[in-house]
Structure 1
């Protein structure tokens, strides 16, 4: 029988330790299926990380039946950024593998205000060479889905 990797099992995962109460964090939401806590290195005060209780590395690993409830929590957190913290809006983001500092699925929910210094996306944009190339990418993705 193949051995599950430490990453897949959650062994040694900082976020799993927070979920289990083995590592301290400022808990914002404690639900049956997810936990949210303040980011230790926030972009702005109130920057929150939402994680599923079970260890899933990426969004594609999360079971389909958990998508709605999980993003329902993200929606509530985004609303709280405005109603509770007085933010004008929020930034909701997730990385999968690339730039994912902890290999446990997590959503960043960050309070935002105009002219707060966060400048959108920090990476360069790449245009399609032609409308045909864009159509080809769309078709390939459509076929995969």
Structure 2
């Protein structure tokens, strides 16, 4: 089974179960963001959570095995067309250099890990319009001299 087939099977089963990503992640025992990313093929799960996810959704062992396979983290390099994904692309385009400058001042020359990393998405209720709060938390990795 390919990752795309795995993702399609998971989304169909999730839809059939009328289950949210948050509810699924809670049953699996991992964060909503990480479980969703693994189900979309961009991360992998260890054996126990992969099997638990498949048990919850009534999916077969082939899906569990594919969930455990290392992903090929590639994506389409064209400008995203989905409005929400495009706005995130735009945020990085507009604020990416600013983020780099501020991280450089605070930490030095290096990068934020996307391996030792977490991403959380929250809803902040606001009378002027609800807010999307996205928190990225990654270990700082300084560049080494040799």
Determine which structure has the larger helix proportion and give its number. 2
Q: TM-score, normalised by structure 2?
A: 0.23
Q: TM-score, normalised by structure 1?
A: 0.23
Higher relative contact order, structure no. (Cα contacts within 8 Å, ≥ 6 residues apart):
1
